[in-house]
Structures are given as C-alpha cells and as structure tokens.
Amino acid sequence: MEANLEGGCTCGQIRYRLIGTPLIVHACHCHWCQRETGTAHALNALYEADRVVHTAGEPELVATPSASGKGQKIARCPTCRVAVWSNYPQAGPAVRFVRVGTMDDPNHCPPDIHIFTSSKQSWVTLPPGARTVPEFYDLDAVWSAESQERRRQMRAKAQQAKSG
Ligand SMILES: [Zn+2]
Ligand SMILES: [Zn+2]
C-alpha cells in the first residue's frame, strides 16, 4: 500500500491527505451502515485523527444516531454534504473512520475484515478466504502488531492530554 493517500468530497471543497497506512479497514454490513450509505456495506479505513489532514476546507460534524444509542459524528462537506469520515463513541474523536469511497484511488484500501455479516444482504458474496465475523471482534486478536502499537501510542497520548 502506498503512503499518503488523498481524497475529498464530490464538490471539491473538502480535500484530505492520509498519513501512512490505515490501522485496519472494515467492511461493515450492519443495517445502520447500509442505510447511511444507501448500499450493501460501508467501507471504512481507520486512522488516528492526526493522520487525517484536511488540506482544503473543514467538514461539518453532524450528530447522527447510532446502533449503540450513543450516537456518532459524521464529518460532511458543508456544501455538497458528502460524508468523508466519522467518529464513533467507542473509539472517540481519536479515531477517524475514513470512507474509502471518497479516496481518489479507493483500490488501496480493500477490507481487512467484514463485520456484522449476520445482517449482510443475501445477494452479497464475500471472496473466498475473506476474514468475516457475524458482529464485532476482539481488537487484540485481529489488529496487526504495528496497529496495536499505534493504538497503544494513541492511548498514551490521550492519557497525557487528560493529566496535562
Ligand atoms: Zn463538497
Ligand atoms: Zn455498520
């Protein structure tokens, strides 16, 4: 995978650059993602917030209900309203779920894992050998060693920010 992928919204007001590779890429087949994308599944590349650099424009954070009941924040272009990334309460603002379809070349981020396949649309056939879970998974068992280390650093930073 190449470093520093770029992307943006449809009208071009929002542009972003991604530093390095994603922590993990989720294809989420839950009904909520199906409704929010209007299609079969969401495709989200997870990045630390400081690795998602806005190079043009600032998205508007729209509070949106989520399956957990805690709500999520979807970052949308203020003009064309296309969603470029979102925050979920579990991971908080530290992690941005970047919508892979908004990247200039989405081919760089195929899913590492298919989640919530229990609600997958029946016509969707997953590639042989694809990693799948009926709902969610244990991060310690699935994330690469490098991503776990980045997660550890992220937590340490968050702790520092709290105590500082
Ligand atoms: Zn736009
Ligand atoms: Zn989902």
What was the pLDDT predicted at 158?
84
Q: Which two structure tokens, joined as six digits, stand for 123?
A: 């016509």
* pTM over 0.85, yes/no: yes
Of all ligands present, the nearest one to the C-alpha of 82 is 1
User: What does residue 76 show for φ and ψ, rounded to 5 degrees?
Assistant: -120, 150
DSSP H or E stretch at residue 32: helix 31-37
How many angstroms does the Cα of residue 149 sit away from the middle of ligand 2? 25
How many angstroms does the Cα of residue 103 sit away from the middle of ligand 2? 19
How many angstroms does the Cα of residue 84 sit away from the middle of ligand 1? 9
Q: Which of 51, 33, 21 is nearest to 112 (CA)?
A: 21
How many angstroms does the Cα of residue 8 sit away from the middle of ligand 2? 21
pLDDT grade, residue 1 (50/70/90)? very low
Whether the CB-CB separation of 76 and 60 falls below 8 Å is answered with yes
Q: Mean pLDDT over residues 128-152, rounded?
A: 97
Q: Which of 13, 18, 3 is nearest to 103 (CA)?
A: 18
How many angstroms does the Cα of residue 57 sit away from the middle of ligand 1? 9
Contacts of 99 (CB under 8 A, 6+ apart): 42, 43, 44, 83, 84, 85, 86
> Residues lining ligand 1 (ion), CB within 5 A?
9, 11, 13, 77, 79-80
> Is the confidence at residue 32, as pLDDT, over 70?
yes
How many angstroms does the Cα of residue 56 sit away from the middle of ligand 1? 10
